[in-house]
Amino acid sequence: MTDEQKNFARRLVLGAAGAAVPLTLAQAQAQAQPATPAQPGPALLADPREKFPRPPFPRQEQPWPGLASRMDPKPDHGETSYRGSNRLAGRRALITGGDSGIGRAAAIAYAREGADVAINYLDAEEEDARDVVRLIREAGRKAVAIPGDLRQEDFCTRLVEQAARELGGLDILVNNAARQTAQTSIADITTEQFDSTMKTNLYALFWLTKAALPHLRPGSAIINTASVVAYDPPAALLDYSGTKAAIIAFTRSLAKQLAAQGIRVNAVAPGPFWTPLQPSGGQQPDALPQFGAEAPMGRPGQPVELAATYVLLASAEASYTTGDVQGATGGRPNS
């Protein structure tokens, strides 16, 4: 020991003399030694290329809107891996498309970060939605399940009002639900399909946002799900790509409007992600086995890989972030 350490140890012993259990010299010496910081080891690293399943995947098809529980391999939404740290304590969130895919990952993460969560989904997705409700409640948070069709303006208004009423308010709106149907030619896109895509992806976002604004206070957040196809539209996703480009413009314009109210508006533009959107018509059946292989990472993303992005954009940590578009594309250009 150095003279300084000996003097420090002696003071600790004398100072503890009146206590029931005085410090011994050995204990004092241990306290006097500087702590050695833990050194991270190689085991903490994981190769992102091999972290999740890679193509080829089994050929599979589902009727719209599809179920995560029937996909092979099943998507990872963070059910067993996401760990929260109280970053959204006391917040109240409404997430559309919260039964599966990216919306489900956000719902699980929000609940484990301390938020109460309302999810919207279609009646046909009830099986997946029940799992999400269970996971939210297991996290000790309130779960509100509100099925219904976002293509109807009156339902969008009722959805927001019910979510705000049952949650006791609203702080976060995640416009995530989407319709995607691959067609090789514009000649194959019916007016019914075009109308359904526009109403699900764009009209609902407009209706829900208008209905939510009276409930949102300074510090609240709106998060819209766009896509890499807004920048690099595939030939087979003509109508879907158009809506995603419009969502980015909508996000940036609305962010400018609402900045004066202290409400942040951002978007997330994912690349290829393994969700029920894909086997239920979002990809051509022959293309699905190689889905995501074209990404530099060599695989599609899993929904859990976006959970932290949605948490960040909803949290106070992103207080100076608005009008932004966050990408997660596995290396594909997103600009």
Token pair listed for 300: 């599609």
What percent of the chain is modeled with pLDDT above 70? 87
The active-site residue out of 82, 110, 121, 240 is 240
pLDDT value for 79:
98
Cβ atoms < 10 Å from Cβ of 111: 26
List Cβ neighbours of 98 (8 Å cut-off, separation of 6 or more): 104, 106, 107, 117, 118, 119, 120, 121, 129, 132, 174, 176
Q: What is the mean pLDDT of residues 189-216?
A: 98
pLDDT value for 332:
87
Q: How confident is the model at residue 44 (pLDDT cuts 50, 70, 90)?
A: confident
Find the length of the chain: 335
Spatial separation of the C-alpha atoms in residues 331 and 4, rounded to whole Å: 55
pLDDT value for 157:
98
User: What is the DSSP code string of 253-314?
Assistant: HHHHHHGGGT-EEEEEEE-SB-STTIIIIIS-TTTGGGTTTTSTTSSPBPTHHHHHHHHHHH
pLDDT tens digits, 249-296: 999 999 999 999 999 999 999 999 999 999 999 999 999 999 999 999
In the residue annotation, 121 being an active-site residue is answered as no
User: What is the DSSP code string of 91-160?
Assistant: -EEEEETTTSHHHHHHHHHHHHTT-EEEEEE-GGGHHHHHHHHHHHHHTT--EEEEE--TTSHHHHHHHH
Return the CATH class of domain 91-328: alpha beta
pLDDT value for 9:
44
On the question of pLDDT at 244 being above 70, the answer is yes
Q: How confident is the model at residue 3 (pLDDT cuts 50, 70, 90)?
A: low
On the question of pLDDT at 115 being above 50, the answer is yes
Q: How confident is the model at residue 101 (pLDDT cuts 50, 70, 90)?
A: very high
327: left (phi over 0), alpha (psi -120 to 50) or beta: beta
User: Could you tell me if 247 and 267 are in contact, meaning their C-beta atoms sit under 8 angstroms apart?
Assistant: yes
| Residue type for position 16 | A
Q: What is the mean pLDDT of residues 298-325?
A: 98
On the question of pLDDT at 4 being above 70, the answer is no
Reduce the DSSP state of residue 163 to 3 states and report it.
helix
On the question of pLDDT at 248 being above 60, the answer is yes
Chain mean pLDDT for the chain: 90
